[in-house]
A and B are shown apart, each in its own frame.
Chain A
Amino acid sequence: MTEVPEPRGGSGRELGLSRHYRDIAGRRVLFDNEGFLWSADDWTEDLAAALGAEMGLDTFTEDHWRVLRFFREYYATNGRAPLNRQLAAGTGMRLLDLEELFPGGIRRGARRLAGLPNPKTCT
């Protein structure tokens, strides 16, 4: 094969495509490039707590767990994440409060901590 001088780039990391394994909460877990769990089945409460601590959420209140449980039960039943208004109705909480409850808000905070797949995951 004829050799061509290598141009810059090419690893894919620049495109932000890499999945990666992390050791967290005592296990090796696969995450996507945006920090979402690759598989919802890998979720545990310990994992959620460890991820929360990384985000600055050291203590989970009953409100936090109610939201995460709602996310997971909704996903288990419907195979998709709830829309925000469904989350608000299901938890009895206001959207503004939900956004402020988690660092990163609902999408990048609560959904991540609930271990639901990234809505943009390409399968």
Chain B
Amino acid sequence: MKVTFTLNGIPRQVVVDPDVVLLDLLRDEFRLTGAKQSCDKKGQCGACTVIVDGKAVRSCLTKVAKLDGADVITIEGLGTPANPHLIQEAFVLAGAVQCGFCTPGMIMAAKALLDVHPDPSTAQIKRALRHNLCRCTGYVKIIEAVKLAGEFLRGEKTPDELRPDPHGAKLGVSHPRPSALIKACGVAQFTADILAPGALELAAVHSPHPHALIKSIDTKAAEAMPGVAGVMTAKDIKGSNRHNYMVPDRPVLCEDRVRYIGDPVAVVAAETREQALAAVAAVRVEYEPLPALGSPHEAMAEGAPQIHSEWANLCLTQPQIKGDAARAFAEAAHVVEGHYHTQMVHQAPLEPEVCLAFFDGEGDDAQLVVVGRSINIHKHLAMLQEATGWEDMRYEEAYVGGQFGIKIDVTSEGIAAAAALHFRRAVRYIPSLPESMYLSPKRHPFDVKVKVAADADGNLTALGMDVVIDNGAYNSMGNVVMSRAMMMLSGSYNFPAVDARARLVYTNNPWGAAARGAGPPQVNYALESAVDRLAREMKIDPLEFRRRNSLRPGQSKSTGQVVDEWPFPELCDAIKPHYDRAVREAREMGEGTKKRGVGVAGGSFGIGGPNDQSMVAVELDPDDGITVYGAVADPGEGNDSMLSQLAADAMDLPLDKVRLVTRDTDHTTANGPAAASRHTYMSGGALLDAIRQLREAMAACGATTYADMQKAGVPTRYMGTRKTVVGTLDPETGQGPSFESQVHALQLAEVEVDTETGEVRVIRMTCAADAGRVIHPDNVIGQLQGGMDMGVGLALREEYVPGKTKDWVTFKYPTMKTAFDMDVIICETPRKRGSNGAVGVGEMTLVPTAPAVLNAIEDAVGVRIYDLPATPDKVKAALAAMR
């Protein structure tokens, strides 16, 4: 049928099938890719929001057939980077743009609201944007951005009044992120936005069984289906067919066995994704189910089958012994024990695990280019070379819609690269949400038995922990997660004696890898819960107990490493007025069936771990600006701001004279992952080292410009490095080097517990944090807010159950409805070894959150939940048991 409508002010006529939705028409036909797809067009995410006849609509649910005569506006029609709309400018200046994937949809929903309500309240904003999901921000800055946009539109303020002077101070100033405006204008290209006409579309066959032999794979029927170019199985992969992050245990496509629900078995390539999905359903895989090991304890039991023939189910054991814990426990005035369990969680970035692979060049000289969401492009390139057997490759990082640890490892790229090589054509892999969940690693579930002891004065004397980690079916970097947990075991506190052990175990569960914090959040939940209970049982105020027991310079962590700076007590002091206010309000309120509670928890997260190195090159350019070369991924945390502001400050340049080349393996230094909150410390440090060398070279020859250096015959390019100490924890004692610095935080949770339903509502989270010198205040605050939002999800709602968690509703995604008020208190203690005193903050943000919330629940209603998430059912059951 023919439909006539206006699109961004231009009359359009289209002939479409009745079922075509507006989102597909915009993206596929009009090439307007600002509206995004995340939720498989179920209308759950709002990333596709556009305006139709003045109303915000989800274009994935809007049939084009119903648009005859309509006026449609997309983000591209609102403003461009050269001529942005005031709402787009407001989002940028309010710091509401992180990964940018949700941003166009948010802005369009905001526009529709502001056109009708030019001065909206918070409640009106939350209602208008209730269909728009965000994983990065925690929604606070988005609400602030909409209000700021209202002020701009009403003429009360202008963007120029708020925009920092780009020639002014570079550190401690929230200069607009280099990528923020193009994200706000919907022209930042994420992988699925890249046009690839003629590329085959992929879909994969995934195992429905947690453990099974593959007896046969019959692809004949699938191969005969319309549009199908072919079906690929493991035998078609020429290389090792292994994703060898640290251990070569994970196949690109399974050969004779599957080890978790979702393990990929075959790949269909077809002209369209619909054809590929239809053919996937026609692939016949004969499985012989095997006993599935659903927990580490089952996997460690006598006689348990081995999941991998080459490696024992118990991958790794790491003790940690400091002092004489047995004696300390025996002599303690007070001891608390508890057994805590944390759940498997999907990190849930909004963007699916999209990947594109194509050939640059012809024949045997062709370079295979993989475009995806990697946070470690050089390592992933090396892994893909080995897995596929093709050496001439390039990895390009597109704009990435969040990752939160999920992209520490290769997910969809192995399949895409292998398929491109097999079919000798460009391929595009846009997995559905369930597929993305199958392909990607999860937060490791931890089982933690914890014991803490104190003397009669309330000083902590001993810590005991027995940690069992569910590694899932494949190792990835599970050993690193375990190691990091052990290196931060004692949290913020001084424990003179420690007796701990951690064990990492293969199971037939989805494989684990990095997930914001990657180990420490799980152990910190147990530690902070036990410390809280100890304080309460000793009738010592929980905040005072933490301040009193803070580690101090000259004391040692559980690893035996002596610290020389530890600004944690100061955070206790900074949050105290908020804590006192919260406690007073909670005692005054909470009548009837709804009870108020207040909880605190601390965290001290290591930065600059051992065995790390970073290399960043800088080059003086002919215009006397500089270009920075280094693979520094930025899936939303603001590494582009960090690099450009550090460089501009060190070189005394305006920001627009600093260029960044960070996204492809052909032009960058191999620089390690955007993980472990390391880039500010490591890559920032390497950058400053490179600039120091450049400035020294300029000074040595008396040069002030590029031309001077050329004339003097002096190189204009310098390689900076930063390395940390080499070493590991002793395998018997767990003593050894850990981190060169720390970021500290204390979080305060104010909750309301409905004693009838068990529902817990977070009213407010307050975070006092010290990440050293702050380079970009809004970026730090934004990370803290987003992390707290994610931490509340970890505490109360989220759990990945394979086969059942398959979209954003079953995931229980945070929304405007679950959003809560947040306050952030920033303290700045310049770190001796920081990059201009700065360290990273991205993961610290949720390390204390879950225990703060759970401590608040106990404060409210006297029950302790030991098994995350603290769902209404669990709270209700605990209340019933208490009665």
Interface residues of chain A, those whose CB is within 8 Å of chain B, are 1-2, 4-5, 7-12, 14-17, 19, 30, 38-39, 76-81, 83-85, 107, 117, 119-123
Interface segment among B242-250, B396-404, B453-461: the answer is: B242-250
Out of A1, A5, A79, name the residue touching B466 (CB < 8 Å).
Answer: A1
Cα(A79)–Cα(B671), bound, Å: 8
Most buried by A among B314, B381, B464, B670: B670
Say whether A123 contacts B479, CB under 8 Å. Answer: no
Cα(A37)–Cα(B207), bound, Å: 39
- Give the shortest distance, in Å, between A112 (CB) and chain B (any CB): 14
Q: Which chain A residues border B726 with CB–CB below 8 Å?
A: 30, 38-39
The residue on A at minimum CB distance from B381 is A119
Flag whether B731 is at the interface (Cβ < 8 A): yes
Q: List 5 A-B contacts (CB under 8 A).
A: A14-B315, A16-B247, A77-B719, A80-B670, A123-B614
Q: Which chain B residues border A39 with CB–CB below 8 Å?
A: 613, 723, 726
Q: Which chain A residues border B314 with CB–CB below 8 Å?
A: 7-10
Q: A79-B615, A83-B391, A83-B392 are in contact. Are A11 and B317 (CB under 8 A)?
A: yes
Report the 6 A-B pairs with minimum CB-CB distance, sorted nearest first: A9-B312, A79-B669, A119-B382, A10-B317, A9-B314, A123-B672
The residue on B at minimum CB distance from A123 is B672
Say whether A17 contacts B379, CB under 8 Å. Answer: no
- Give the shortest distance, in Å, between A13 (CB) and chain B (any CB): 9
The residue on A at minimum CB distance from B301 is A7
Say whether B379 contacts A2, CB under 8 Å. Answer: no
| Residue-wise interface mask of B (431-443) relative to A, using a CB-CB cutoff of 8 A (1 in contact, 0 not) | 0000000000000
Q: Which chain A residues border B845 with CB–CB below 8 Å?
A: none
The residue on A at minimum CB distance from B719 is A79
Out of B313, B379, B669, name the residue touching A119 (CB < 8 Å).
Answer: B379
The residue on B at minimum CB distance from A85 is B392
Say whether A120 contacts B383, CB under 8 Å. Answer: yes
Q: Which chain A residues border B672 with CB–CB below 8 Å?
A: 123
- Give the shortest distance, in Å, between A87 (CB) and chain B (any CB): 10
Flag whether B477 is at the interface (Cβ < 8 A): yes
The residue on A at minimum CB distance from B451 is A1
Q: Which chain A residues border B379 with CB–CB below 8 Å?
A: 119-122
Say whether A79 contacts B629, CB under 8 Å. Answer: yes
- Give the shortest distance, in Å, between B391 (CB) and chain A (any CB): 5
| Residue-wise interface mask of B (447-471) relative to A, using a CB-CB cutoff of 8 A (1 in contact, 0 not) | 0010100000000000010100000
Say whether B246 contacts A1, CB under 8 Å. Answer: no
Flag whether B302 is at the interface (Cβ < 8 A): yes
Q: Which chain A residues border B304 with CB–CB below 8 Å?
A: 7
Q: A5-B302, A80-B665 are in contact. Are A10 and B503 (CB under 8 A)?
A: yes
Say whether A4 contacts B671, CB under 8 Å. Answer: no
Cα(A14)–Cα(B312), bound, Å: 8
Most buried by B among A19, A117, A121: A121
Out of A4, A10, A19, A80, name the residue touching B669 (CB < 8 Å).
Answer: A80
Cα(A76)–Cα(B315), bound, Å: 37
Cα(A96)–Cα(B312), bound, Å: 39
The residue on B at minimum CB distance from A21 is B726
Q: Which chain B residues border A78 with CB–CB below 8 Å?
A: 617, 669
| Residue-wise interface mask of B (576-615) relative to A, using a CB-CB cutoff of 8 A (1 in contact, 0 not) | 0000000000000000000000000000000000011111
Q: Which chain A residues border B501 with CB–CB below 8 Å?
A: 1
Cα(A98)–Cα(B503), bound, Å: 44
Out of A2, A15, A76, A119, name the residue touching B246 (CB < 8 Å).
Answer: A15
Q: Which chain B residues border A80 with CB–CB below 8 Å?
A: 378, 665, 668-670
The residue on B at minimum CB distance from A79 is B669
The residue on B at minimum CB distance from A12 is B316
Out of A7, A14, A85, A107, name the residue touching B311 (CB < 8 Å).
Answer: A14
Most buried by A among B316, B449, B731: B316
Say whether A7 contacts B477, CB under 8 Å. Answer: no
Cα(A5)–Cα(B302), bound, Å: 9
- Give the shortest distance, in Å, between A72 (CB) and chain B (any CB): 12
Q: Which chain A residues border B301 with CB–CB below 8 Å?
A: 7
Cα(A30)–Cα(B300), bound, Å: 33
Q: Which chain B residues border A117 with CB–CB below 8 Å?
A: 670
Flag whether B550 is at the interface (Cβ < 8 A): no
Flag whether B263 is at the interface (Cβ < 8 A): no
Say whether B717 contacts A123, CB under 8 Å. Answer: no
Out of A10, A12, A76, A84, name the residue touching B391 (CB < 8 Å).
Answer: A84
